[in-house]
Chains A and B, each alone.
Chain A
Amino acid sequence: MADKHQHDVPPNPYLEKRRTATEAKALEERVRQLENLLTEKGVVSKKTLDRVVSIYENDLGPLNGAKVVARAWIDAAYRQRLLADATKAIKELGFGGLQGEHMVVVENTATVHNIVACTLCSCYPWPVLGLPPTWYKNPPYRSRIAIDPRGVLIEFGLELDDSIEVRVWDSSAEIRYLVLPERPQGTEEFSEEELAALVTRDSMIGVARVNSFS
């Protein structure tokens, strides 16, 4: 099972679940009837339903941020623009929605590891990362990340060598940080799209690295 998914998806038990063809077909039919019934009555339009799916599938997760990171990995000039003025560079890719906040992108290297937090409340770069995870908003992460960042990272499964400098960036109402993670080795042949698929939310908050398998 694990080897089957090595280049595809991690062995997430949720993703392993499969309905039988008969079950899936019956459910497909049941929802189709429900949808038709409601659209024919004029209660809801198919266009609205399409839009809801599109919004929640694309804007809820970190897909936009992942695209920004993938572009920065393959395009050195974009990377420079991103590090110089992230708000502008992110807008270049068509991602906006910020209301006066500035985006700052901090780059992980072999010697520096960046982590983003918001010690006061829960400021988060939602136009690129979607909605924040629960732990990001909880007091234990918010208070401990500033005091013991290495210890918190270990709890996330990331043990950093002592030689690596850890920088914690405290988001505010004015400035939202995004981590540009290191491009994993062995991805030289990957397309921009394949690279974006590897980039996780946690890697852009800085509590994880990007692996060459998603």
Chain B
Amino acid sequence: MDRIVKAEVADMEGVGALPRRSGELIFHDQWERRAFALGVALHEQGEFSWDDFRKYLIASISASGDISEMLDSSGPGYYEHWLAALEKMLIEKGLITSSKDLVL
């Protein structure tokens, strides 16, 4: 893997855009970093296309009715949607059998 950021990941616009401040990514908790890395690394390894992942991400955010990261909200944030999209993607690709693999 090159030590270079992928424009398709970093430059997402609109609903799916990564939360950033002054260009830098914003993570609140360590799990957000790990979830981010899982999505990006698996895509870079060719497990799924970024477009497919992004569609799930946008669908999850849109279904929740708002981008609550931008509000002082207690609802699911950007990386909750990211995680949901990732799990859906992994199930579709057969990398996990179902989210029952996980104790939720």
- Please tell me if the beta carbons of A27 and B31 are within 8 angstroms of each other in the complex: yes
CA distance A168 to B104 in the complex (A): 54
- How many positions in chain A have a CB within 8 Å of any CB in the partner chain? 46
- How many positions in chain B have a CB within 8 Å of any CB in the partner chain? 53
Residue of A nearest to B34 (CB): A31
- Please tell me if the beta carbons of B87 and A14 are within 8 angstroms of each other in the complex: no
- Please tell me if the beta carbons of B29 and A24 are within 8 angstroms of each other in the complex: yes
Q: Interface code A1-41, partner B: CB below 8 Å = 1, 0 otherwise?
A: 00000000000111111111000100111111111011001
- Please tell me if the beta carbons of A56 and B10 are within 8 angstroms of each other in the complex: yes
Specify which chain A residues have a CB less than 8 angstroms from the CB of B24 in the assembled complex: 57, 60-63, 130
- Please tell me if the beta carbons of A52 and B21 are within 8 angstroms of each other in the complex: no
- Count how many pairs of residues, one from A and one from B, have CB atoms less than 8 Å apart in the complex: 148
The A contact surface, by secondary structure, is helix
CA distance A87 to B81 in the complex (A): 41
Q: Is B41 an interface residue (CB 8 A)?
A: yes
Q: Is A91 an interface residue (CB 8 A)?
A: no
With contact pairs A14-B19, A44-B41 given, residues A59 and B5 touching in the complex (Cβ less than 8 Å): yes
CA distance A143 to B72 in the complex (A): 36
Q: Is A144 an interface residue (CB 8 A)?
A: no
Across the interface, B23 reaches (CB within 8 A) one of A24, A44, A48, A60, namely A60
Q: Is B63 an interface residue (CB 8 A)?
A: no
- Please tell me if the beta carbons of A30 and B104 are within 8 angstroms of each other in the complex: yes
With contact pairs A43-B42, A55-B5 given, residues A49 and B34 touching in the complex (Cβ less than 8 Å): yes
Residue of B nearest to A134 (CB): B13
Residue of B nearest to A126 (CB): B5
CA distance A59 to B101 in the complex (A): 34
- Please tell me if the beta carbons of A14 and B5 are within 8 angstroms of each other in the complex: no
Specify which chain A residues have a CB less than 8 angstroms from the CB of B29 in the assembled complex: 19, 24, 27-28
Known: A32-B34, A63-B24. 14 other contacts (CB 8 A): A14-B69, A16-B72, A17-B71, A17-B77, A19-B74, A24-B31, A28-B29, A30-B102, A44-B42, A50-B37, A52-B44, A56-B10, A60-B25, A62-B22
Of the A-B pairs whose beta carbons lie under 8 Å apart in the complex, a sample of 8, sorted by A's number, is A13-B70, A17-B73, A19-B74, A33-B103, A38-B38, A38-B90, A51-B3, A201-B23
